Amino acid sequence: MPASNTPQGAAQDDDLVFADETPAIASDGGHAWRVLIVDDDADVHSTTTFALGSLEMHGRPLAFLHVYSAAEAKAVLEREHDIAVILLDVVMEAPDAGLHLVRHVRDTLGRHDVRIILRTGQPGYAPEMDAIRGYDINDYRTKSELTRTKLYTSVAAAIRAYEQIHALEDSRTGLAEVVRANTELMALHSVGEMTLGILREVAALAGQLADGLLCACPPGAASVAWHVLASCGPSAELARDGMLAAGADGPTAALAQALAERRNLYHDDHLALYFPGKAHADFAAWVRLTRPLDDMRRGLVDVFTSSIAVGLDNVALMTDLHRAAFYDPLTGLPNRTRLVELVDDSLQAGADATLCLVDIDQFSETNDALGHQFGDALLVAVAQRLRARLDAGLALARIGGDIFSLLGQADLIDPAAMQDLFAAPFSIEGQDVQVSATLGLVRLVEHDGNAGDALKDADIALKRAKSQRRGGHFYFSRGMGVEIRERVRLMHALRTGFARGELFLAYQPQVELAARRAYGAEALLRWRTEDGRFVPPDRFIPIAEYSGLIIDIGAWVLREACAELVRVRAAGYLDFTMSINVSQVQFRHPHFIDMLRQALDDTGAPPERVELEITESMAMEEPDLLIERLAEIKRTGVSIAIDDFGTGFSSLSYLQRLCVDRLKIDRTFVTEITDAARGSSIAEMVIELGRNLGLSIIAEGVEDERQAQILQTLGCPLAQGYLFARPLAPSALIEWLASDARTRAA
Ligand code: C2E
Ligand code: MG
Ligand code: MG
């Protein structure tokens, strides 16, 4: 294109700005738009640079690269990745060298951003349009057609297209960046980590180093100072003691404005970002900028702040939840969950640590007597004293109502010193309260298992300590663990055994002493395991109680014994009474009466022929519940006996208030009767007591004739024991009853 063809003072495109002087070729390749001129005619190179040299777009000049063949162009394009436009001659070393290059750029190099303007020397010469259609060519002109103005317009349009392609590409990767940042931040659970992360991500979006602060701004606090949640870079120095003080200008003013306008504010040298909080305070960030953000980056920051606001709110909530999950609200100490974590850490570190549970003795009595508020105050006082007096290296926690725990280096935990801390009384609401503590300890080095197991072991040791002496302590030993594991094993075996029908009832006859005739029988639970071994009830019943299995088992016993009663009656023994043992746990169950009624209804057993045995120790606990329960039972028509009588400490007045029908003299007192040293005093007393209270008496464990004689002489009407019969299988019971009847008939 000859220079003379170029019209002077060409109409200026909106995007084209001509510099006053003839510009030098931009040396700042990074900042200029780079244009590659590919033409085998040197004149074309000079006229093009002359025509376009002064063009600027968005403040950026053009920089030209010159090559004279398609082959050279290939080499340059492989090296240079930021070429915006190629001005390409179609005919060079070969008639279609230009078109080949186009194909190479798009297909081989995979370069889709670079814009291509094709030029051909001969007017009317048209390359195969089909061949180039697919190659995203910006313009196709004959050289004579390309006047200076047209060339400007064409190149300017190409550069604008190139810029848009890049903006789209940037915003796509920018959005992907926002999504990634968002996802990563959401995974952080602490406010500190997350807020710092936000500052870093904003800086990354702005393409600079993080430099700013993020504050929590509770409504109405604008005029005072804000709590700085995170800060980084030189801006960190703006915060004093974690607070950002109010100021008429500078960061605080910018933050106040963003909060007031509820939006992000963009300035050339800083940003004030607003994060709306839902449940809590709003959040705002101030970020120093090294250069202004373009529209696209602002858009991305807007998207980021609005999406992250939800996460900030969650994380604030999470902090609250974390507190609730790991700390005891009353004392502010770590709770059980947190202790488990701490023990786990100790175990993993293999530290020579001891875990010590501290149980406040008689706390529930104090609580009941003086009220919960007083009890709470006592716990707080205990927590404060322990915290103040114990070594700071020990972790203190409150893991249950009145149970504290200590965890730390074994040599820092001394049981005697611990108990000394309770020597002085606690002053609560102006009163001196004296309490003691019982300790259960476990040495973690001797422990195998996880933190939960260690805690269980410490609890076992505590229970053992309590069973011995209040105010004492006990270290867990492996032997205790073995015993517990055996019990757990037995518990599983009992559960499956019960389901498989390994439990059954034996019936031990009870007789009228004077006539020696059958009166009834006591149903006694038996467990024969799969391998034919018998597990004694004294062993498995406590386990059934402990595990709660006794509820189902007990209900089954009630039904089964009632059914047996009905069978015995059907065999003709109508004045036969069935005694059924009831465990304490079962008795306290809220549906116990329903279970009893159900058993009676389902089997059709007459209630007046059914007797329940409760133990004396049980009769002493929770008197009010017991009195009410017994009255309810009486209303069903069933009678009640107190088992193992004489082993407990029932008071006379209390006994009178219970609706019971019979006392069962414990076997130990029956055995004593023939013992020269001890004699029959207790048995006598019980019989006398029964007479005075109008209660019937039965003696259990009668093994020989002399015992029977003495009891009869003392006025005991009924007895049970090996002398008369062992516990019998149902068929044997019927046989026993038949032979008993025959004996009397004879
Ligand atoms: P218990 O209710 O005091 O039962 C009397 C225990 O003394 C029975 O032991 C019985 O076999 C035993 N016995 C009876 N006569 C003699 C004798 O002349 N000499 C000796 N040395 N022992 C005699 P067993 O069957 O081993 O039951 C032990 C305890 O297990 C029972 O004491 C009772 O507390 C509990 N138990 C048994 N069956 C059940 C049940 O179905 N439910 C509940 N909750 N507890 C039961
Ligand atoms: Mg009994
Ligand atoms: Mg008994």
Q: What is the pLDDT of residues 632-641, one digit of tens each?
A: 999 999 999 9
Does 213 score more than 60 pLDDT? yes
CA nearest ligand 1 atom 11, residue? 727
CA pair distance 434, 423, nearest whole angstrom: 8
Helix 363-370 with 372-389: angle, nearest 10 deg: 140
* Predicted pLDDT at 502: 97
- Residue nearest atom 43 of ligand 1, based on CA coordinates: 581
Closest C-alpha residue for ligand 1 atom 42 = 581
Of 97-111, 172-186, 291-305, 708-722, the range with the highest mean pLDDT is: 708-722
What local confidence, expressed as pLDDT, does residue 188 receive? 65
Tell me phi and psi for residue 22, to 5 degrees: -65, 120
Higher pLDDT, 597 or 312: 597
Q: Which CATH number fits domain 336-476: 3.30.70.270, 1.10.40.60, 3.40.50.300, 3.40.50.1980?
A: 3.30.70.270
Phi, psi (5° rounding) for residue 358? Answer: -120, 110
The residue ranges of every structural domain in the chain are: 3-167, 190-324, 336-476, 490-745
Would you say domain 190-324 falls under CATH 3.40.50.300?
Answer: no
Measured CA to CA, the distance from residue 393 to residue 436 in angstroms comes to 24
Alpha helices in 578-701 (DSSP H): 584-588, 592-603, 616-619, 623-636, 652-657, 667-672, 681-693
How far away, in angstroms, is 109 Cα from ligand 2 center?
Answer: 95
% of the chain residues with pLDDT over 70 = 87
The protein residue whose alpha carbon is closest to atom 20 in ligand 1 is: 701
pLDDT in tens, 433-489: 889 999 999 999 877 788 888 998 899 899 889 877 778 899 998 887 777 778 888
Which atom from ligand 1 is nearest to the alpha carbon of 536?
A: 26
Q: What is the tens place of the pLDDT at every residue in 142-192?
A: 777 677 788 888 888 888 888 878 777 777 777 777 777 777 766 666 667
Give the alpha-carbon dihedral of 585, 587, 590, 595, to 10 degrees: 120
In degrees and rounded to multiples of 5, residue 583 shows phi and psi of -80, 155
CB 410 within 8 A of CB 416: no
How many Å lie between the centroid of ligand 2 and the Cα of residue 518? 17
The whole-angstrom separation of Cα 60 and Cα 62 is: 7
What's this model's pTM, rounded to 2 decimal places? 0.49
Which ligand 1 atom minimizes the distance to the CA of 727? Answer: 11
Specify the ligand 1 atom closest to the Cα of 554: 42
Q: Which amino acid is at 552?
A: D
Look at ligand 1, atom 35, and give the residue with the nearest C-alpha. 537
Task: Name residues whose C-beta falls within 8 Å of residue 277's C-beta, 6 or more positions apart in sequence.
Answer: 216, 283, 309, 312, 313, 316
- The residues placing their C-beta within 5 Å of ligand 2, an ion, are 581, 613, 643
Q: How confident is the model at residue 336 (pLDDT cuts 50, 70, 90)?
A: confident
Query: What percent of the chain has pLDDT above 90?
Result: 41
Q: Write out pLDDT tens, residues 248-294.
A: 678 888 888 898 898 999 999 999 998 876 655 678 899 999 888 88
The domain defined by 3-167 carries CATH number 3.40.50.2300: yes
Average pLDDT rounded to a whole number, residues 190-198: 76
Asked if residue 509 has its Cβ within 6 Å of ligand 1, the reply is no
Paired strand residues for 696: 662
Where does residue 457 rank: exposed (0-12), middle (13-18), buried (19+ CB within 10 A)?
buried
Average pLDDT across the chain, whole number: 84
Q: How many CB atoms lie within 10 A of CB 513?
A: 22
Nearest ligand (C-alpha, residue 720): 1
Ligand 2: centre distance to CA 522 (Å): 7
Complete DSSP assignment for 39-62? -S-HHHHHHHHHHHTTEEETTEEE
Superfamily holding 490-745: EAL domain (3.20.20.450)
As a whole number of angstroms, the distance between CA 215 and CA 234 comes to 16
Separation of 722 CA from ligand 1 center, angstroms? 12
The response to whether residue 611 sits with its C-beta less than 6 Å from ligand 1 reads no
Most confident of the ranges 181-185, 204-208, 346-350, 580-584? 580-584
| The pLDDT value given to residue 322 | 61
For residue 615, report the distance from its CA to the centre of ligand 2, in Å: 8
| Residue 622, pLDDT above cutoff 80 | no
